[in-house]
Amino acid sequence: MRKPLAILVVVSCLLSACSDRNERVVHAVLPAARDLREGVVVRYRGIDVGRVTSVRIVDTGVRLDLDIQRADAPLRAADNVRVVAMGMFGDREVEIVPGPVSAPRLAPDGWLPATPQDTLAEIREIVSDALAKQALARLDTLIATSHIQIHLDSVHPPTRSHP
């Protein structure tokens, strides 16, 4: 009888250890979340702390559920959430912007407000998109021109005059 009880205790401890992954879910509602997908990175102070698990349209905007996987991320009730474009191609990430350290810790299953809307963000995004498209068009032209020149040189190699 002792052996099955010992096995049960060991299995119970192992299951308990495996389930303790320091995960917590945080929610936010943003006015918009252009091109945001489930699975993208959530960052706090530049550190990857979790992933977006749900992106849903609600009456007041776009609701995000964030799976925070790092226990050392000291989220507070006064922190804010925003969607940021990363890299030249506009990949999106969620950033948690720290609020005052004096604010209380965020409760489990808590809600974070969106950062105040940046009135110039849409203009910057349009300009950035236009510049990226222009750069890609120039690159395509350069590649196409170089390819033609290389092709012509292989068909008709340059002639050298011999003295």
- 79, 105: one domain: yes
Query: What is the per-residue pLDDT for 134?
Result: 87
Is 106 found in the same domain as 49? yes
Same domain as 89, residue 144:
no
Digitized pLDDT (tens) for each residue of the chain, 163 residues in all: 555 544 544 444 444 444 444 579 999 999 988 889 999 999 999 999 999 999 999 999 999 999 999 999 999 999 999 998 877 666 889 999 999 999 999 998 999 999 876 656 667 777 877 888 888 888 888 887 776 555 555 655 656 655 5
Instruction: Examine residue 74 and state whether it is found in any structural domain, yes or no.
Output: yes
Assess whether 106 and 136 both reside in one domain.
Answer: no
Structural domain harbouring 143: 118-158
Amino acid 106: pLDDT: 94
Query: Residues 126, 108: one domain?
Result: no
Q: Three-class SS string for the chain?
A: CHHHHHHHHHHHHHHHHHHCCCCEEEEEEECCCCCCCCCCEEEECCEEEEEEEEEEEECCEEEEEEEECCCCCCCECCCEEEEEEECCCCEEEEEEECCCCCCCECCCCCEECECCCCCCHHHHHHHHHHHHHHHHHHHHHHHHHHHHHHHHHHHCCCCCCCC
Is residue 89 domain-shared with residue 60, that is, in the same domain?
Answer: yes
84 and 138 part of one domain: no
Q: Give yes or no: residues 39 and 90 share one domain.
A: yes
To which residue do tokens 């989220």 refer? 75
Q: Token digits for 146?
A: 């170089």
Evaluate whether residue 100 is within a structural domain. yes
Residues 124 and 96 in one domain: no
Residues 111, 123 within the same domain: no
What pLDDT does 115 receive?
Answer: 85
What is the β-pairing status of strands 111-112 and 24-30? parallel
Model pLDDT, residue 130 = 82
pLDDT confidence of residue 13: 46
Cα 120 to its chain centre, rounded Å, is: 21
What is the predicted pLDDT for the residue at 8? 44
The tally of domains found in the chain comes to 2
Structural domain includes residue 26:
yes
pLDDT at res. 15? 43
- What is the pLDDT, as a whole number, of residue 77? 95
Task: Identify whether residues 74 and 42 lie together within a single domain.
Answer: yes
